[in-house]
Chains A and B, each alone.
Chain A
Amino acid sequence: MSAIIELKDVVTFYDLIIALRSISISIEQGSITAILGNNGAGKSTILKTIMGLISRQPSKGDINFLGGKIAGIPTEQIVRLGISYVPEGREVFSELTVKENLLMGAYTRKDKKGVKKDFPWIYNYFPILKEKENQWAGTLSGGQQQMLAIGRALISRPKLLLLDEPSLGLSPLLVKEIFNIIKAINKEGVTIVLMEQNAKMALTISDYAYILENGRVGIKGPSVELLEKKEVRELYLGIYSGSSRNRYQNIKKK
């Protein structure tokens, strides 16, 4: 298996504030990769840097997508290469209908017939969207908006799908549903990168995971292994095992 996207020593600033301190990440084709971390660890910044949403960043380092450099290219061209991004907090176009939102998602596609054929494919994943097809997206509930945002990203037929906290503000049941769908999408061959606060959920469905701390990669490894690792269990999953109860908390405080 080869890497679909590779970040090499990427450094990103927000003006004078450093957000990513030399991050190297490599994502396998066809995998689900979870990127975890506390608030402010730099999770969303990684995605924004990949998408070219932060102007004149990354200031150092390379991003390679399918062998070509994409650092510094305008966002709309990056999209055309086959990367889709579901922004944090959904960001649907509230005064377009569900159908029009999906049409906007297929904005970069030239084959109108193919797009038409893909509508049932999306509706198959999210039947509720079919029901609400002609409703303004702003009138949907939070979970439905999240589904729409994922559908909108999917319909451009991406090779790589970046999800920024898809579980934000959703009920546990809905989170489960969304994660199942993410898994199903992955089975069709779409590589997925998942930014999450919900560490347990993310580690269960992903193949590989990176845990960020203060703009650096702290821990990485196959998700199954991380689930067993003591420090991960204590710091991110909140499962304490006996005597070491305070140890890692103290480290973190430094």
Chain B
Amino acid sequence: MNMKRDYYEDINLFHSKTVIFWFAVLILFLVLYPFLFKNYYIYVANYIAINIIVATGLNILVGYTGLISLGHAGFFCLGAYGTVILMVKAHIPFLIALPLSSLFAGLFGFLIGLPALRLEGPYLSIATLAFGLTITQVVGKLDFFGGREGLHTSKLLIGNLHIDSDRDFYCLLIPITIIMIFIARNIVRTRVGRAFIAIRDAEIAAETIGVNVMLYKTLAFAISAFYTGVAGGLYAFVLRFIEPQLFSQMMSIMFLAMVVVGGIGSTFGSIAGAILLTLLDLELRNILSIPYLGKFLESLSKNFFSITGVSNIQFIVFGFIIIFIMLFEPLGMFGIWIRIKKYWKTWPF
């Protein structure tokens, strides 16, 4: 059992020496990573890190506060466009443009959070869905945002350092990701985080002990939108080019899927979900290059599962994997982790 003897133990970020040890190993691995792997895998790592930030932020909303959003691609879009436009048009340095545009995304999150006070479940998801769809339409129509052609990012300078290659960007991105994760971990351990969980578990009881439900629901939206905004701003520099079509509805659903597959209400789960889904998304197209089986599957999907005649086997496999995970472990990857932990802790029973 999780026994804590005093308050300081309770507020500790790390629960034991083992955790510190494995955390050190992880940091070491992350430091060595760019030297061990080739460029493509660094790009993959960057991509994963960005999705981790989004999933962590979305988890505060979905997992801890019990609200839902199908419009997070909209906040992602705001973060990305905000950062690029501030840098290209107003020549504001990256380290100021990123937080500014994230705050802007957070402000929008606050506004979108207002209907959340009245709407629940399916109704709320439709309202947020509408937001996600609208943003890309608006951005695509306005020439100021580059219209349908999109925008190229400007040079990324931090002080005098020119961040150019994926490897350079990795060195910038990973520390930001770790900091964001730590902040999220801390938010859910404080008064604010407990209020979020209280609202999710028993809204009326939360209200009757003095939690301002309105404030905290909109706050949850704002925080998670801020996280998504940060990730969006960074994403622009992974691709070095942004266009409205990138921020599709599919993206919002992927974000939500990361949180759900990872395990709702656990930061660890969100991270795991983000890693798994990003890897699947990027790597499943390699299915087609498996000898024999790949060719077979390709023709199968072209002939039977596709309207347009384009091979879509990777999406089918992707869907299957998610269905299987949710079928066998409804708590997601976090549930699998819990089960392993329980097995060892209660061994030999």
Whether the pair B265, A95 counts as a contact (CB closer than 8 A) is yes
A100 and B195 CA atoms in complex are apart in Å by 10
Which of the segments A72-80, A122-130, A167-175, A216-224 contacts the partner chain?
A72-80
**Nearest A residue to B7, CB-CB:** A116
Nearest CB in chain A: distance from B202 CB, A: 4
Nearest CB in chain B: distance from A158 CB, A: 10
* A93 contact set on B, CB distance < 8 A: 194, 197-198, 201-202, 205-206
* B308 contact set on A, CB distance < 8 A: none
**How many B residues, CB 8 Å from partner?**
23
A84 and B207 CA atoms in complex are apart in Å by 11
Q: Does B204 contact A (CB under 8 A)?
A: yes
Q: Does A214 contact B (CB under 8 A)?
A: no
**Nearest A residue to B212, CB-CB:** A76
Could you list 28 A-B pairs, sorted by A, with CB under 8 Å? A51-B208, A53-B204, A76-B212, A79-B208, A79-B209, A80-B210, A84-B208, A87-B205, A91-B202, A91-B204, A93-B194, A93-B201, A93-B206, A94-B202, A95-B200, A95-B201, A96-B198, A100-B194, A103-B194, A104-B194, A104-B195, A104-B206, A107-B191, A107-B211, A134-B4, A152-B205, A153-B209, A156-B210
* A153 contact set on B, CB distance < 8 A: 209
Q: Does A215 contact B (CB under 8 A)?
A: no
Q: Does A210 contact B (CB under 8 A)?
A: no
Supposing A103-B194, A104-B194, A134-B2 touch, asked if A94 and B207 sit within 8 A by C-beta, the answer is no
Q: Does B1 contact A (CB under 8 A)?
A: yes
Q: Does B327 contact A (CB under 8 A)?
A: no
Whether the pair A107, B208 counts as a contact (CB closer than 8 A) is no
Whether the pair A87, B212 counts as a contact (CB closer than 8 A) is no
Main secondary structure on chain B at its contact with chain A?
Answer: helix
Whether the pair B201, A75 counts as a contact (CB closer than 8 A) is no
* B207 contact set on A, CB distance < 8 A: 53, 75-76
Whether the pair A108, B209 counts as a contact (CB closer than 8 A) is yes
* B191 contact set on A, CB distance < 8 A: 107
Q: Does B290 contact A (CB under 8 A)?
A: no
A51 and B197 CA atoms in complex are apart in Å by 21
* A76 contact set on B, CB distance < 8 A: 207, 210-213
Whether the pair A152, B194 counts as a contact (CB closer than 8 A) is no
Supposing A96-B194, A96-B197, A134-B2 touch, asked if A108 and B210 sit within 8 A by C-beta, the answer is yes
Give per-residue flags for B76-101: 1 if the beta carbon is below 8 A from chain A beta carbons, else 0.
Answer: 00000000000000000000000000
Of A85, A91, A103, chain B has the most CB atoms within 10 Å of the CB of A91
A87 and B209 CA atoms in complex are apart in Å by 11
* B1 contact set on A, CB distance < 8 A: 134-135
A76 and B199 CA atoms in complex are apart in Å by 13
Q: Does A30 contact B (CB under 8 A)?
A: no
